[in-house]
Amino acid sequence: MARTEIRIAGFGGQGVILSGYIFGKAASLFDDKFATLIQSFGPEARGSACSAQVIISDEPIDYPYIRKPDINVVISQEAFTKYGRDLKPGGILITEEHMVSVGNGALKDYDHYTVPATQIADQLGRRIVMNMVVVGCFTAVTGLLKKYAVRKAVEDSIPKGTEELNLKAFERGYKHGMKLKKEREARAIQ
């Protein structure tokens, strides 16, 4: 796998940085790859538009910033306005189903998936784990990282005592992602 550039964008407090941290940790500690995480810094990390940049590669990473992402994960409307279409043609776009209205603009250049992460998190009882649903969905639809590696990174990165809830959210997101992927493949065959 060559260099893959990922952006996760939302607003501060949604767990954007933690999601990026989990992907980077999964890749570099549990999946035998290289990863570099760069996070947006300052007031935006605490409430306004906020983003994490992750580069994952089989080789050491030289240039540390993303130039044009291969994968764009967008979980707030403001972030969609700013970054929604800043993606390589053919790249994967993942949006939160109820937080982001993609409007009528053409997204046909991208492999677009939506995930009702907030709804799923609410069903689990805590909206705060919405980001873990997104992480699970990402893991399924991108196939970039081994599932056990991401799961382990989730376990390794969250506060003690919250493992069950977070992993449940991760699994629900993963299941949703696999469903979308299968539907996509079935459509492709037709």
Report the residue number, 114 or 157, with the smaller CB distance to another protein: 157
User: Considering the rule CB under 8 A, would residue 47 count as an interface residue with another protein?
Assistant: no
Stretch that binds another protein, among 5-13, 30-38, 93-101, 108-116 (CB under 8 A): 30-38
Report the residue number, 4 or 118, with the smaller CB distance to another protein: 4
User: Considering the rule CB under 8 A, would residue 48 count as an interface residue with another protein?
Assistant: no
User: Considering the rule CB under 8 A, would residue 25 count as an interface residue with another protein?
Assistant: yes
Stretch that binds another protein, among 55-63, 98-106, 139-147, 159-167 (CB under 8 A): 55-63
Report the residue number, 29 or 178, with the smaller CB distance to another protein: 29
Q: Exposed e or buried b for every residue in 62-71, given b needs 16+ CB within 10 A?
A: eeeebeebbb
Minimum CB–partner distance for residue 112 and another protein (Å): 28
3-state secondary structure of 90: coil
C-alpha torsion 119→181→31→90, nearest 10: -100
SS3 breakdown of the chain: % helix, strand, coil, rounded to 5? 45, 20, 35
User: Considering the rule CB under 8 A, would residue 160 count as an interface residue with another protein?
Assistant: no
Half-sphere exposure of 180 (CA within 13 A, CB side): 25
Residue at token pair 């800043």: 86
User: Considering the rule CB under 8 A, would residue 9 count as an interface residue with another protein?
Assistant: no
| Of residues 30, 27, 53, the one with CA closest to residue 40 | 53
Stretch that binds another protein, among 37-45, 94-102, 118-126, 158-166 (CB under 8 A): 37-45
Helix or strand holding residue 184 (H, E) = helix 163-189
User: Considering the rule CB under 8 A, would residue 35 count as an interface residue with another protein?
Assistant: yes
User: Considering the rule CB under 8 A, would residue 69 count as an interface residue with another protein?
Assistant: no
